[in-house]
Chain A
Amino acid sequence: MKNPFENLDKVMEHRVRLQIVSVLVANESYDFNALKELLDVTDGNLATHLKALEREKYISISKSFVERKPNTRYKITERGRSAFKKHLDALEELIKQQKK
């Protein structure tokens, strides 16, 4: 059997990134400020992790203006969704193995 550690997604091993992806999988889209409130992280911290996820093409970004204020919305991509699923499976597998 393959080592399940190899199936863990390197990008999502960081908890904040994993949390961002979970929220986006569960929702059609989410904006920056709502994510910040939900995850209780700082602007800079959130922005860094979003960038990392964007670089991997796990999420897509759309910018618009709402009442003249810039509004940035994030969506999960198909690539991100399948990576999330694989990562979850790997986590599950690891927990199962270590319980033995």
Chain B
Amino acid sequence: MDQNQSYQKDIESIRQLMERSVKFLSLSGLSGILSGVYALAGAAIVYEILYNPKTPFDYANQSVKEIALITQLLIIAVIVLTISLITGYALASKKAKKLGVKIWDTTSKRLIVNLAIPLVSGGAFILILLANGYFMIAAPACLVFYGLALINASQNLFDEVRYLGYCEIGLGLVCAIMPGFGLYFWAIGFGVLHIIYGALMFKKYDR
């Protein structure tokens, strides 16, 4: 029936708009996979710096205390983060074009604000910890704050991001009770989890 089709179209357009006006759907699963790969590469470089020439799973032979070393590690982390963000942005604008939506709209702005609140406060907190010499807690704190940021942002992203957030927080807490293994937890949290999550999302939404 004609009238009936019109009602169904109404309902369909409501559903679509409600989702599109809240959720930033242009995020590509591929960017998750790639940022995971970058993180693993970064972790491998840090591993070389810290442990070489010792065997794996040894306690770090150079404990992370000297300012020069910390600066070096921070630079690697920032480079990995930057490349990941650029990749994410490039892939998202490609996907947005395909979906016929703008990448820079109310939704993406809200997403950034919701991500930034836990990330900036966490980042500042961690820098203060580092400045005061609490090196042990910095690695787990990064994971925990990152997890909180993901959960906070999940309202503007795919719902599944929430579960990634829970995993990062859990991992961060385990990391906190196992000092000295921060790098491994980072490799899992920022590398392996991103690759798994990205692959799942790619399979579900990008094909």
Question: Measuring CB to CB, which residues of chain B are less than 8 angstroms from any residue of chain A?
Answer: 1, 3-4, 7-8, 10-11, 13-14, 17-22, 102, 105-106
Measured as residues with beta carbon below 8 angstroms from the partner, the interface class of chain A is 20 to 34
Chain B residues within 8 Å of A91, by CB? 7, 10-11
Q: Are A19 and B20 also in contact (CB < 8 A) when A95-B4, A98-B3, A98-B4 are?
A: no
Interface centre among B10, B13, B22, B102 (most CB of A within 10 A): B10
Question: Whole-angstrom distance between the alpha carbons of A30 and B21 in the complex?
Answer: 9
* Minimum CB distance partner of B23 in chain A: A26
Q: How far is the CB of A57 from chain B (nearest CB, A)?
A: 21
Are A26 and B21 in contact, with the CB atoms below 8 A? yes
* Minimum CB distance partner of A84 in chain B: B14
Q: How far is the CB of A26 from chain B (nearest CB, A)?
A: 4
Question: Whole-angstrom distance between the alpha carbons of A91 and B8 in the complex?
Answer: 8
Question: Whole-angstrom distance between the alpha carbons of A92 and B21 in the complex?
Answer: 22
Interface of B is mostly: helix
* Minimum CB distance partner of A8 in chain B: B7
* Minimum CB distance partner of B14 in chain A: A22
Question: Whole-angstrom distance between the alpha carbons of A27 and B19 in the complex?
Answer: 10
Interface centre among B14, B22, B105 (most CB of A within 10 A): B14
Are A23 and B17 in contact, with the CB atoms below 8 A? yes
Are B22 and A15 in contact, with the CB atoms below 8 A? no
Are B10 and A38 in contact, with the CB atoms below 8 A? no
Q: How far is the CB of A69 from chain B (nearest CB, A)?
A: 16
Can you list 14 A-B pairs, Cβ within 8 angstroms, ordered by A? A22-B13, A22-B14, A22-B17, A22-B18, A22-B21, A23-B17, A25-B18, A26-B18, A26-B22, A34-B106, A37-B102, A37-B105, A95-B4, A95-B7
Are A38 and B7 in contact, with the CB atoms below 8 A? no
Question: Whole-angstrom distance between the alpha carbons of A26 and B17 in the complex?
Answer: 9
Chain B residues within 8 Å of A61, by CB? none
Question: Whole-angstrom distance between the alpha carbons of A92 and B18 in the complex?
Answer: 17
B4, B11, B14, B105: which contacts A38 (Cβ < 8 A)? B105
Question: Whole-angstrom distance between the alpha carbons of A31 and B107 in the complex?
Answer: 12
Q: How far is the CB of A13 from chain B (nearest CB, A)?
A: 9
Question: Whole-angstrom distance between the alpha carbons of A23 and B16 in the complex?
Answer: 10
Within 8 A of B (CB), among A1-56: 15, 18-19, 22-23, 25-27, 30-31, 34, 37-39
Chain B residues within 8 Å of A83, by CB? none
Question: Whole-angstrom distance between the alpha carbons of A23 and B19 in the complex?
Answer: 9
Question: Whole-angstrom distance between the alpha carbons of A30 and B17 in the complex?
Answer: 13
Are A23 and B105 in contact, with the CB atoms below 8 A? no
Interface centre among A19, A25, A39 (most CB of B within 10 A): A19
Chain A residues within 8 Å of B13, by CB? 15, 18-19, 22
Interface centre among B3, B11, B21, B105 (most CB of A within 10 A): B21
